[in-house]
Structure formats: C-alpha cells, structure tokens
Amino acid sequence: METEITYRLEVEDLFKTFKYWHKINKSIHLVKLFAYTLFIVTIIQTLLKAQGELWSKLFVGILTLGISIISLNLFVYFFSFLVFRVNLPKDEANGILCEHTIRITPTQLIEKTLVNETYCNWISVKHLHELPNHLLIIFGVNQVHIIPKRAFASTSSYQTFYEMTQQFIEQSRQTH
C-alpha cells in the first residue's frame, strides 16, 4: 500500500501555514496567560496590603510592567512575521518553493525536490494536522511537510491519502 502526490509549494502556502503556527501554539499562550494571571493576583494582594503613596507607586510600576510585557509580545510577533517575509526563498534551488513529490509507504514518508531527497520514518511524526487548504505533517518545531489540498484530483483522493498517512503513523506507534 503506497501512494504518491506531486505539487508545487507556493508563497501563499507558506504564509497560510505561518499564521497557523502562531495559532496552534496555544499551549505556550495558555502558560503565559496563567503566569500573567498569577502575577496579577500577586500584585492585587500586594496592593491591598500597601497604604497611601506606596500604593500609587506600586500601581504605576505594575501598570508600566504590564504594558511593557504586552508591547514586547506584539513586537516579537510582528518582527517574526517581517523576518519570515524578508527571508523568503527567491528561487527554486532552495528546495522550498518548488515542485515536491511525496510518497508514503507503510514504513516511511519520502519527499523529493530539486535539491534533496528526505526519508522520514513514521515514528518521527509528532502530529498530523488538517487546515482548510493544507495538510501538515509535523515532525518537530522546525520540520513540517506542507501539502496543499489543491494537489489532489478530488476530495476522495485527499481523504484516501490522509487516512493512509494516519494509519501508517498509528501502526508505527503500536510497534514501537
């Protein structure tokens, strides 16, 4: 049981998945939210114990710190988006914005481009995620295969590919 798909990865595919990347890191955002909430509770307790002029100084300091933290997070988000946009590959010789052929077998995923051929065992897949227009096969923080759904002739051929991929991942996890 094997199948193969060939497609061309375009700039808009990268942008759509980059935006998704920020959305799926909700666990990181939830940890930050928990830390901020704990921080605010601690501040409120401190303010309730403070008297007079000390209270207003603490309040201004805490407000300034909160605004600084929010500003830093916004800066990091927009800076990372800008760096991503500036560092986009300009030609096909980079192995990203070019034709990709992905073959899936019961033991591995094989990706071929103009510049490389990659073999990945199914056990190394961390997550399989469907977006409205893409399938992401995530191996880790820095390695993901982006497969546009437009590469498939029909919804049923996409569904077959997806189910086979899911089956191979599950079989690999059961044997290890």
Tens-place pLDDT, residues 94-125: 778 889 999 999 999 999 998 889 999 999 99
Is pTM beyond 0.75 here? no
Q: How far apart are the first and last CA of the chain?
A: 20
Higher pLDDT, 24 or 122: 122
Q: What is the mean pLDDT of residues 133-139?
A: 92
Q: What angle do CA 63, 68, 70 make, to 5 degrees?
A: 95
pLDDT at 27 (0 to 100): 55
CA separation (Å) from 111 to 7, 56, 67, 142?
11, 61, 45, 16
Helix, strand, or coil (residue 137): strand
Read off the tokens for 76.
């990091």
Q: Which long-range contacts (CB under 8 A, 24 or more apart) does 169-175 make?
A: 169/122, 169/125, 169/128, 171/106, 171/122, 172/107, 172/121, 172/122, 172/123, 172/125, 173/122, 173/123
Mean pLDDT of the chain: 81
- The partner residues of 147 in beta bridges, in order of sequence, read 135
Q: Are 5 and 101 in contact (CB under 8 A)?
A: yes
Please give the biggest Cα pair distance in the chain: 75
pLDDT at 25 (0 to 100): 60
DSSP of 66-80: HHHHHHHHHHHHHHH
Q: What is the mean pLDDT of residues 20-49?
A: 66
pLDDT at 111 (0 to 100): 95
Q: How confident is the model at residue 52 (pLDDT cuts 50, 70, 90)?
A: low
pLDDT at 125 (0 to 100): 94
pLDDT at 165 (0 to 100): 96
pLDDT at 150 (0 to 100): 96
Q: Is pLDDT above 60 for 5?
A: yes
Cα 157 from Cα 171, distance rounded (Å) = 21
CA separation (Å) from 71 to 60, 67, 78, 79, 110?
16, 6, 11, 12, 42
Q: Is pLDDT above 60 for 154?
A: yes
